[in-house]
Amino acid sequence: MNLSLDNLEKLLTTRDPVLVEDLFAEACRVRDEVYGRKVFMRGLIEVTSHCKNNCLYCGLRRDMHCTRYRLTKEQILQCCRTGHELGFRTFVMQGGEDAWMTDERVCDIVRSVKREFPDCAVTLSLGERGRESFARLKDAGADRYLLRHETADAAHYARLHPSEMRFEHRMQCLRDLRELGFQTGCGFMVGSPGQTLETLKKDLQFIAEFRPEMVGIGPFIPASGTPFEHEPAGSVELTLRLLAIIRVMHPRVLLPATSALGTLHPQGRERAIRAGANVVMPNLSPQDTRSLYSIYNNKLATGSEAAESAADIRARMKAIGMEVPTERGDFIG
């Protein structure tokens, strides 16, 4: 399939449904060639809602007056126990940039999880840190790190973040993670305020060059109380096309059907799988903290139990002819 810059523009903007279907079919074909018809499950554990940053789009930004929480190590282990029982073999610990999450604390949590679940992968998504810090987390046993670049265009980055947050630093973090041997994930929101076809092309170019092991993309969804609360949500259709393009460009990438897609469309995650995605991330966080981790409005499955959301997503994947194996689902290099 032709993925030259000119053709990318056409694929992103065309109104021809046949062209779009061809793109999705090609994406599934290349995915199946590498990974088979498998969707890998990751258990998401939202470990802290405290954040020192003030990203303009996010419902957990520093300036939001909201109830904040941190999970204890024991609570996190309990989530993993539930998850392991349900067949999860990857745990993703995500949170705001929380100074309380010192290297010592995170390393202790990672070691405890790896000790109790040696057959599982640990993914961290705790925002930007220094190279030394990332190195310690790696030594403690963390396998993967998700840090969306948010946009590959410096001017656009500056529109989404306060000036104390630096585009260059975020990109440096990604390079450090890669060099330290993490399976590294970047990604961006689709339809974030100020995003254009040009900035999207830069995102795709960045992914083509960086060749991350994972790419997380989902539509932007406005969050009440943030500077972007009245901005329109991103497009589901455009997100699906971008997923498919990323798959075709980089056949081996692990590509989640994000909850943000599921939030905007009742069949959003199924449609993402049909566009070439191969990962789902049901929530394993304790029931009472889910609604407090409100990155955007109407977040999916707030309040439902881990077992329930895992069973729901399994059934959805099987209904569209995909297997959901009990395995770590590492990047195939």
Per CB under 6 A, residues contacting ligand SF4 are 51, 53, 55, 58, 60-61, 96-97, 127
Pairing of strands 43-48, 40-41: unpaired
Smallest gap from residue 129 Cβ to ligand SF4 (A): 11
Smallest gap from residue 69 Cβ to ligand SAH (A): 14
Nearer to ligand SF4, 30 or 58 (CB): 58
Nearer to ligand SAH, 23 or 262 (CB): 262
Smallest gap from residue 256 Cβ to ligand SF4 (A): 16
Q: How far apart are the first and last CA of the chain?
A: 22
Map residue 104 onto helix, strand or coil: helix
Smallest gap from residue 96 Cβ to ligand SF4 (A): 4
Nearer to ligand SF4, 25 or 64 (CB): 64
Nearer to ligand SF4, 52 or 81 (CB): 52
- Identify what 235 binds: ligand SF4, ligand SAH, none; CB under 5 to 8 Å per kind: none
Smallest gap from residue 49 Cβ to ligand SAH (A): 10
- Identify what 270 binds: ligand SF4, ligand SAH, none; CB under 5 to 8 Å per kind: none
- Identify what 221 binds: ligand SF4, ligand SAH, none; CB under 5 to 8 Å per kind: ligand SAH
- Identify what 8 binds: ligand SF4, ligand SAH, none; CB under 5 to 8 Å per kind: none
Alpha helices in the chain (DSSP H): 5-13, 17-35, 73-85, 103-116, 131-139, 154-160, 167-179, 197-210, 236-249, 259-264, 268-274, 287-290, 306-319
Contacts of 56 (CB under 8 A, 6+ apart): 159, 160, 161, 162, 193, 226, 227, 228
- 97, 127 in Cβ contact below 8 A? yes
- 129, 160 in Cβ contact below 8 A? no
Nearer to ligand SAH, 62 or 328 (CB): 62
d(CA 70, CA 307): 22
What number of other Cβ atoms are within 10 A of residue 105's Cβ? Answer: 14
- Identify what 61 binds: ligand SF4, ligand SAH, none; CB under 5 to 8 Å per kind: ligand SF4
